[in-house]
């Protein structure tokens, strides 16, 4: 089969970035001299045809690696878990589709790994699977359709989260929502919202006033903590990620939401080492000093505040069944299928390297967290 569309290389980046920077400068001028950082990040990542995720590659050839880019083992672990979940809830023994929804699928590689593993493990189930990719971008959907064409009617697309029973899964999606950044003014006893302006032809950071929505978020910080926060301390939050999780919770009938990402829980929100926030820019697997330079050619990302995401889900009636390290969850999944993994033939050198990357604390095992929230299925009867 001929290869389909794929993420573009870096060759066209300068022209794209210059055009996107021009559009950002025009918006700054229209907005009175500054825009919120969240708006800059939204355009830098998602501007149709120009944003980073409209052309970014992942893995060794791109700017960053993920659990998916380590190899197909991650998709196989998910497929094995899905089979167990479908069986546990009585879906395998009843007629009807077997649901699995992925959001933030990028080029569709995880879906390909999942479905390929399922075809090897339980080929009888593949015709019943309804693997739905939630994808608002026409560009990314084209990549996914080309990669997943071989699975035909087992794959469907939706521009937004449909009402569903089953599992909605995401891997490194929540960290890619635009963030709000706020800097503490210790002398003035107030927070400033961080924005972007233009100075001498360059995009630079600035401070802008707050609005009531941000006052509400920041007002929850205890006064005794503010007394010891250093001047300029930065806190971040992602209204978009929280709203997306709330939408997913409302769409969920019975089943669960699963999010893999790097982040922290509520107890770790104000770690002293994060006084400048967690915003990072990556290009060619290297940190970028100036995250405002070359919009559209740099991956912008920030740690997920899982404590706030957890609160959002619980407020929508979900029950938290897991919030811990990726290593802990994947190890438990593997232990639950120990017969398969005790087979000496299962551990080729390549698969062993993939497992180490997924689970070892110096790779993805510790920094990556997993949040699972459920609206339980009725007991099968």
What pLDDT does 57 receive? 60
Query: What's the pLDDT score for residue 254?
Result: 92
The whole-number pLDDT of residue 339 equals 66
Please determine, for residue 343, whether its predicted confidence score (pLDDT) is greater than 90: no
The b-or-e profile of 75-85 (16+ CB within 10 A means b, else e) is bbbbbbbbbeb
Domains identified in the chain, total number: 1
* Sign of the dihedral through C-alpha 175, 178, 180, 181: positive
Greatest mean pLDDT range, 61-70, 116-125, 332-341: 116-125
Judged against a pLDDT cut of 60, whether residue 92 lies above it is answered with yes
How far is residue 301's CA from residue 345's CA, in Å, rounded to a whole number?
38
Give the model confidence (pLDDT) of 24-49 as tens digits.
999 999 999 999 999 999 999 999 98
SS3 assignment for 188-250: CCEEEEEEEEEECCEEEEEEECCCHHHHHHHCCCCHHHHCCCCCCCEEEECHHHHHHHHHHHH
The confidence score (pLDDT) of residue 93 equals 86
> What's the CA gap between 68 and 358, in Å, rounded?
9
**pLDDT in the model for residue 59:** 47
Domain span at residue 151? 1-381
CATH of the domain at 249: 3.40.50.12710
Confidence band (pLDDT; 50, 70, 90) for 318?
Answer: very high
Quick one: pLDDT band at residue 5, thresholds 50, 70, 90? very low
Q: pLDDT for 351-380, tens place per residue?
A: 889 988 898 887 786 789 999 999 987 665
Averaged pLDDT, 111-131: 95
Q: Which helix (H) or strand (E) holds 166?
A: strand 164-171
């Amino acid at each position: 089969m001929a290869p389909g569309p794929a993420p573009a290389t870096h060759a066209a980046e300068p022209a794209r970035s210059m055009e996107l920077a021009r559009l950002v400068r025009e918006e700054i001028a229209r907005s009175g001299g500054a825009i919120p950082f969240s708006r800059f990040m939204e355009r830098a990542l998602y501007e149709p045809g120009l944003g980073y995720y409209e052309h970014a590659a992942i893995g060794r050839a791109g700017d960053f690696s993920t659990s998916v880019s380590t190899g197909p083992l991650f998709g196989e672990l998910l497929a094995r878990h899905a089979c167990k979940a479908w069986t546990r809830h009585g879906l395998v023994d009843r007629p009807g589709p077997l649901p699995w929804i992925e959001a933030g699928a990028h080029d569709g590689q995880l879906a390909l790994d999942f479905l390929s593993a399922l075809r090897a493990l339980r080929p009888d189930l593949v015709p019943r699977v309804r693997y739905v990719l939630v994808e608002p971008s026409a560009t990314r959907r084209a990549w996914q359709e080309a990669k997943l064409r071989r699975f035909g009617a087992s794959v469907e697309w939706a521009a937004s989260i449909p009402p569903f029973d089953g599992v909605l899964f995401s891997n490194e999606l929540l960290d890619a929502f635009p963030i709000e950044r706020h800097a503490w003014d210790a002398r003035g006893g107030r927070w400033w919202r961080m924005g972007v302006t233009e100075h001498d032809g360059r995009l630079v950071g600035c401070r802008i006033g707050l609005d009531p929505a941000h006052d509400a978020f920041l007002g929850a910080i205890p006064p005794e903590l503010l007394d010891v926060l250093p001047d300029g301390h930065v806190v971040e939050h992602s209204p978009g990620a929280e709203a997306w999780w709330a939408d997913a919770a409302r769409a969920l009938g019975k089943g669960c939401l699963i999010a893999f990402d790097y982040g922290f829980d509520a107890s770790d929100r104000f770690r002293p080492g994060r006084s400048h926030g967690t915003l990072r820019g990556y290009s060619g697997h290297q940190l970028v000093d100036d995250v405002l330079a070359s919009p559209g050619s740099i991956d912008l990302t920030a740690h997920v505040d899982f404590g706030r995401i957890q609160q959002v889900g619980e407020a929508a009636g979900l029950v938290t069944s897991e919030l811990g390290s990726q290593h802990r969850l994947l190890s438990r999944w593997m232990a639950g299928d120990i017969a398969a993994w005790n087979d000496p033939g299962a551990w080729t050198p390549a698969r062993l390297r993939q497992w180490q990357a997924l689970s070892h604390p110096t790779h993805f095992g510790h920094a990556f967290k997993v949040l699972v929230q459920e609206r339980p299925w009725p007991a099968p009867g």
